Structure 1
């Protein structure tokens, strides 16, 4: 079973690489504003998780550069996710606004948030 998961993960990453979406074109000034706003966000994810791939593809379509934190490869990020969000479940978007932190799980909610905030 572990091999099947590994193989499916690699296939997901391969297809994501081959069929990578195009990013949104903005003026340099507009892209700087988006990048500045994205500094308050962090995505806790696993590299080959299909729901995480879905969110990363949405990020690419919106040309949003959000810090990626691999909770599978880093025990520090895994601990941050568990303590802050309450559970180790990915994808999870950490949103910090005015010193308050909100944790958003569910890939569809994260994609909708990105489209609303950065479209």
Structure 2
């Protein structure tokens, strides 16, 4: 029975996944425009972050769309297949759950932020409010 359920959901992902990716591409938001200096500072800050995600996860798509809206160049790591990224997610964050934003401070300490809503709130507070204050 377990095999049947796994096969069903795997087939469902294979059918719906491309549709979700097409929807993401068609609904691509316009990015926030900053001065070159301001965008450079944002890019520098984003270099200490990584988004662990699955390509076709609806919650991951939601976070990626917000990253585009805020013009954030955050490294995206696919944690779906077994391997280095998935292992880093489980070891560092404690769960194989996506989306997960890894935020590393200047001292090298990492914070693992789960839940798409919390990630979006964090990104908006850190990058949108700063852009509006400029």
Please, what TM-score do these two structures have when normalized by structure 2? Answer: 0.86
Question: How many matched pairs?
Answer: 119
2:52 is aligned with 1:58: no
Gaps of 5+ in 1: none
Paired position in structure 2 for 1:10: 18
Please, what TM-score do these two structures have when normalized by structure 1? Answer: 0.96
Match of 2:121 among 108, 112, 116: 112
Structure of greater relative contact order (alpha carbons < 8 Å, 6+ residues apart): 1
For the pair shown, which has the larger CA radius of gyration, 1 or 2? 2
Deviation of 1:99 after TM superposition, in Å, equals 1.7
- Deviation track 1:47-83 (CA, whole Å, cap 9, x = no partner) reads 1100000000000000000000001146100000000
Paired position in structure 1 for 2:46: 38
Paired position in structure 1 for 2:32: 24
CA distance in 2 between counterparts of 1:86 and 1:65 reads: 25
CA distance in 1 between counterparts of 2:23 and 2:72 reads: 21
